[in-house]
Amino acid sequence: MPVFDVYQLLPITPVRAEGRYLWDNQGNRYLDLYGGHAVISIGHSHPHYVRRIEQQLKQIAFYSNSVINPLQEELAERLGRLSGYPDYQLFLCNSGAEANENALKLASFLTGRKRVIAFQKSFHGRTSGAVSVTDQPAIQAPFNTQHDVHFVPLNDIQALQEAINHEVAAVIIEGIQGVGGIRVPDDQFLQQLAALCEAHGCLLILDEVQSGYGRTGHFFAHQHAGIKPHLITMAKGMGNGFPIGGVLIHPDIKPKKGMLGTTFGGGYLACAAALAVLEVMEQEDLIAHAAQIGAWLIGELKQIPEVENIRGRGLMIGLDPQPAFAGLRQHLLHRHRILTGEAKPHTIRLLPPLSLQEEEASFFLKAFRQSLQEMGKPETSISFQNGQKY
């Protein structure tokens, strides 16, 4: 039976990982500056993370949400304290898409409305409601397009004012757009957005699935703007590779039995993984570290003339090589064994573990400059296994 062929695959097969590095089945080592779409927050195979999961596995690995699970309460307490939201409530699920589905459902339950405002170039997941508020028609089946969704340009307050009214259940926005190309909402725009939601009685949903968990130098990206949304969704960096997601829910929103539910969400192993992540983040001061090294890295990248529009916060960085260097990401992978991300058409995304060290960032910068020089000389282009030249 073949695997359903839906992914564009890089030609490497990782078999081991540690810290900020991957090793493939040929023994080659790669510097990982992408973390599997910002998932690896504390580093691959962190010893504390491994111990936490191993210990839990020996005790009890799973039971459903029909019994008391003290790990959920422990996770909620620590997450509330570290995130700055101790008075909010936590609903646990399995992924970012599921978190966004539940946030949208809550907003509709509470307001009795169904219209949603989202933003151009957004990405919120691939399940039915989440993909309907994702600005990518190519991944929406007809079944997904029946929702009442209106897209407006990011950072366009006039367009938002024209779209929002008393029929809107929610406005959903990413703390920083990831798949859309590391597009940062202006702080003032977020502040005005929060005020408009209050004025029209609709809920503000902050999708922090990729931009949260310390990646931008605050626990959540929206905290740079000093706002407090009604609902905050999380996933990727939350479990450092173990599937888990969650929704932080405003204290004024009262739960009802059966309102939300999940079989696997918040299971014992997932909670152990998520607790390990928070414990390491706190012990190693990773949020402050991400802010510091990210600011330094952005400053260094801005001194390179061949790249344009360098943007982001902390260790969520996007940059656009000039058209002549459109193959830069592949060149970094094959020539220098550095793994980065992309956003169409040619944006390079940097989403490394928050524990990235200065010497590793310096190695990347040296390789980056060398790649630009190599790509600028046609006689130095090289061929790889797939026959392409870079």
Per-residue model confidence as pLDDT tens digits over 98-153 = 999 999 999 999 999 999 999 999 999 999 999 999 999 999 999 999 999 999 99
One DSSP character per residue, 273-291 reads HHHHHHHHHHHTTHHHHHH
Residue 8 pLDDT > 70: yes
Q: Domain limits of the chain?
A: 1-377
Residue 388 pLDDT > 90: no
pTM here is 0.95
Q: Could you report the per-residue pLDDT of 198-246, keeping only the tens digit for each?
A: 999 999 999 999 999 999 999 999 999 999 999 999 999 999 999 999 9
pLDDT of 308 reads 85
CATH class of 1-377: alpha beta
Q: Could you report the per-residue pLDDT of 335-348, keeping only the tens digit for each?
A: 999 999 999 888 99
pLDDT of 160 reads 98
Number of H helices, E strands in the chain: 11, 15
Distance CA 373, CA 380 (A): 9
Angular region, 306: left φ>0, alpha ψ -120 to 50, beta rest: alpha
Q: Give how far the C-alpha of residue 161 lies from the chain's centroid of Cα atoms, to the nearest Å.
A: 27
Residue 180 pLDDT > 70: yes
pLDDT of 376 reads 82
Distance CA 102, CA 119 (A): 19
Q: Give how far the C-alpha of residue 162 lies from the chain's centroid of Cα atoms, to the nearest Å.
A: 29
Q: Could you report the per-residue pLDDT of 277-321, keeping only the tens digit for each?
A: 999 999 999 999 999 999 999 999 999 998 889 999 999 999 999
